[in-house]
Every structure is written in structure tokens, then in C-alpha cells.
Amino acid sequence: MSYAPPPTPFAALPYPVAPPLRSAATRRRLSPLLLVLVAVAAIAVVVVIITVAASAARPAAPTHCVYACAPPKTGQRLVSSTSYNNQHWGYTVDYDSTVFQVAQQDTDSVTLGTNGVTAAVVKAMSATSPASAVQATINNLNTSVLQNIQDKNAIPGAEVGEIPGAGEYLTATLVTSQGGTPVALQVMAATQGSMTIVVELVDSPAQGNTVSGIQNTSLDYVLSELIWPGS
């Protein structure tokens, strides 16, 4: 394959080169300028039409506050709320201190527990796709504590602190000293700027183990009220 033939000067061959415009071979149907213009115009027209159509299909902003509206950012966010602030990444986790306690923390993450059992883990990392972060978190679940892990479904409209991302709903058996307890696992991640935050929630299982929202409102609060840096 690396063979290189010795070049033969074209002049040694008895074939003249065609003068310009002698035949169809030297002509184009579209001149270079026209081809570029047509390509740019065609792509631009399609892009504009579809972009406008997509923009028009986006849901309009509600004229009044609906369930998705964020609570006021001033004042105490919960009667008994306590905030954990991660110094390294700058995010803040608001939680109900009558329900949860900080069980563990390190540079990237905080673990909230209740009655000695992990209830929520919030972890920050360098920006990656939310689906990748969810996948990595699920791959690293502590299988000595969580057994019989079963994937159920993706979580439609998953958000972390009002930032859309990806999420997965799983069921498992939580193994404690009191025995095994069926639990629902919700792993959600979102990316903003240069960081991704993954939230892992250990919740009560919904009836039929179907995706039906977070059962424990205190956990829902942790997830939805998470404050991204700069917010």
C-alpha cells in the first residue's frame, strides 16, 4: 500500500490539455460563488424556519404564578430550614432540620440522614452531561446497603434546583440492622455552567413502584430548593 509509482511527465503523453471552456468537463452547472450562496441561503432558510417554529411551539410563560414558580428568594425559606453551604463549589442545600441531619460531608458532597439512614446525597462535579452523571452515580451505588436494585424508568422533566436535567427512578431494598426495607431511589442530575450536581434521594416506594413523584415532601424540598452558585 505504500508503493509510490514513478511520476511520468504528462508532456510525454500524446494528449493535449483541453483549453478552458472547451467542453462540459471544464464547466460547472453552478459557479463557485453561486454554489456557496445557494448553500448558505438554503441552510439559513431552513434554520430560520425551524427555529421560528420551535420557538413558537415553546410553552408561553405563565401570566400568573403556577406550581412551577420558584418561591421568593428572600426571607427564611422554611420555618425550620437549615442551610448547608458547600465552600468548594458554592452550592447551597436547604433542608428541614427537624427531619434531616448532615451525616457526612466532604469537598464535593453532603449526605443528609434521618434516624441513622441515608436519605439524600448531593454531590457536585465538573460539568458533564446529566445522563452521564446519573449513570455514573447509579453504577456507584452502595450495593452492600442497597440490594435488589431495579431500574424502573427515566424521570420525565427531572430538575435539580429548577435546572432541567436527567433522572432515573429505581427501586431497591435498603438493608439496615433492622432488616430489609423496600425503598425508591431517585437519582437526578443537572448541569449549569462548569458544574454538574447529582442528587440521590432514598424515598418511600410509590404504590406499584411506578414513577409518581417524590413521596417525602422534605426530600422534594431538598431537591427543588437547592441553590446553584450565583443564583
Residue 96 — φ and ψ, nearest 5°?
-85, 110
Q: Which is nearer to other proteins, 164 or 182 (CB)?
A: 164
209 binds other proteins (CB under 8 A): no
Q: How far is the CB of 217 from other proteins (least distance, A)?
A: 25
Least Cα distance to 186 among 125, 116, 121 occurs for 121
- Binding string, residues 124-143; x marks residues near other proteins by CB under 8 A: ---xxx-xx-xxx-x-----
Q: Which is nearer to other proteins, 16 or 116 (CB)?
A: 16
87 binds other proteins (CB under 8 A): no
Q: Which of residues 173-202 bind other proteins (CB under 8 A)?
A: 190-194
39 binds other proteins (CB under 8 A): yes
Q: How far is the CB of 103 from other proteins (least distance, A)?
A: 26
Q: What is the C-alpha to C-alpha distance for residues 44 and 38, in angstroms, rounded to an integer?
A: 10
Q: Which is nearer to other proteins, 108 or 162 (CB)?
A: 162
170 binds other proteins (CB under 8 A): yes
Instruction: Kindly state the cell numbers that stand for 204.
Output: 418511600
Instruction: Kindly state the cell numbers that stand for 185.
Output: 431511589
Q: Are 126 and 195 in contact (CB under 8 A)?
A: yes
Instruction: Kindly state the cell numbers that stand for 227.
Output: 441553590
Strand partners, 151: 170
Number of neighbours of residue 135 by Cβ within 10 angstroms: 16
Q: Which stretch binds other proteins (CB under 8 A): 35-43, 83-91, 112-120, 197-205?
A: 35-43
Instruction: Kindly state the cell numbers that stand for 177.
Output: 440492622
Q: Which is nearer to other proteins, 37 or 180 (CB)?
A: 37
Side chain identity at 206, as an amino acid letter?
A
Q: 3, exposed or middle or buried, with CB in 10 Å at 0-12, 13-18, 19+?
A: exposed
211 binds other proteins (CB under 8 A): no
Strand partners, 188: 167, 199
> Which residues are near other proteins by CB under 8 A?
1, 3-6, 8, 10, 13-18, 22-26, 28-30, 32, 35-36, 38-39, 42-43, 46-47, 50-51, 54-55, 57-59, 127-129, 131-132, 134-136, 138, 151, 153-154, 163-164, 166, 168, 170, 190-194
